Amino acid sequence: VTTLNIPRTIEWIGQLDGCVRLIDQTLLPTEFKFLDCTDLETLREAIVSLRVRGAPAIGVAGAMGLVLGIRTASDSDPAEFNKQLHAAADRLASSRPTAVNLFWALDRMKSCAESNAAQPIPDIKEALLREAMAIRDEDARTCRAIGENGHDLIPEGGGVLTHCNAGSLATAEYGTALALMYSAREHGRRFEVFADETRPLLQGSRLTAWELGKAGIQTTVLCDNMAAQLMKEGRIQIVITGADRIAANGDVANKIGTYGLAVLARAHAIPFYVAAPRSTFDLTLENGDQIPIETRSSAEIREGFGRITAPASANFYSPAFDVTPAGYLSAIVTEQGVIWSPCSQKIREFFSA
């Protein structure tokens, strides 16, 4: 087993008076720079503009952002403290709508505050910092387990296609879809990775190819419209993506373009896997139609490459995510095992086990 060079996306530095340090992903792959956030608004802006992105990483950022938001709150007035806590959580919750991990992490932080409500406020603040750090550390362990549970799905010598970035950068560490690849490589398996460029913001070419390259895994980048041809040429044996939210019936919201890939995979009889932690499931939603889909600024399409690429007179539509119906999935790989042919019943059984 070899150990790969995998970056830490987000960390809390120091004590309660410290800061949140994150890799500014908008600068990659040309610049590797950390951004230190010392206040909630800076952290929230980092989520909104995708300096930190990817469902589990947004969850960790939300939890740590809440600590930034309450650490200067009143130490003597519980009502005032609670007011600030909820205002901070609401403010962070309004940053991005699709990845459920953000809301999951904020709920967990609020529960932590509630169960410590009898303590002096300074102790509640310390408990919240410990909880945010625990969310980060658990996510790192969860990602490792996802990799271990799924790496055998990658065939020796095969071609693996992925979309967007569901790697270390998108989580606390190690990733979800990419965790399978890291684990497979750590166990000595050889395979070729194909990364969709992932327009409009190029998470595939800028981030996935960058982090796999750092880990010594050679990556072939393709434009999003090339996948069908590669499949037809027999170069793709398996497709693996992450998820931003999974409904109770197994429908999966993930980066725009994922649905198209799933349809293409089905047409070419190629297995299509989603790798995600339990915190990405939203069992309150019966199906994927209920998942809120973020639409982003038309500027991200119109000026996608730092120059004008369409006339201002054109209209734009920019959904950041799409929903793949559960029927297109071969399986969902989680930290607690693999859910084959996911559907409402299988997911219910998985969560009640």
By three-state DSSP, how is residue 282 classified?
strand
Smallest gap from residue 320 Cβ to ligand MRU (A): 5
DSSP, res 85:
H
Residue with tokens 């409402």: 344
Beta strands 281-282 and 19-23, pairing class: unpaired
Distance CA 195, CA 221 (A): 5
Is residue 221 within a helix (H) or strand (E), and if so which, with residue range?
strand 219-222
Piece of the chain touching ligand MRU by CB under 6 A; list 14-22, 51-59, 125-133, 284-292 = 51-59
Binding status of residue 55 toward ligand MRU by CB under 6 A? yes
Piece of the chain touching ligand MRU by CB under 6 A; list 116-124, 184-192, 237-245, 331-339 = 237-245
Smallest gap from residue 24 Cβ to ligand MRU (A): 14
Distance CA 279, CA 273 (A): 17
Can you give the length of the chain in residues?
A: 353
Distance CA 161, CA 159 (A): 7
User: Scanning residues 244 to 283, which ones bind ligand MRU (CB under 6 A)?
Assistant: 244, 254-255
Binding status of residue 145 toward ligand MRU by CB under 6 A? no
Smallest gap from residue 153 Cβ to ligand MRU (A): 17
Catalytic (active site) residue 244: yes
One of 61, 68, 99, 240 touching ligand MRU (CB under 6 A): 99
Binding status of residue 205 toward ligand MRU by CB under 6 A? no
One of 170, 270, 331, 338 touching ligand MRU (CB under 6 A): 170
Q: From the candidates 244, 251, 282, 322, give the one annotated as an active-site residue.
A: 244
- Give the C-alpha distances (Å, rounded to integers) separating 75 from 114, 116, 125, 129, 195: 16, 14, 9, 15, 49
**Degrees, nearest 5: CA angle 220-230-219:** 10
Smallest gap from residue 280 Cβ to ligand MRU (A): 7
Is residue 166 within 8 Å of 201, Cβ to Cβ? no
One of 209, 243, 248, 331 touching ligand MRU (CB under 6 A): 243
Piece of the chain touching ligand MRU by CB under 6 A; list 46-54, 127-135, 149-157, 212-220 = 46-54
Give the catalytic positions in this structure.
244
Contacting positions for ligand MRU (CB under 6 A)? 50, 53-56, 99, 164, 166, 170-171, 175-176, 203, 241-244, 254-255, 320
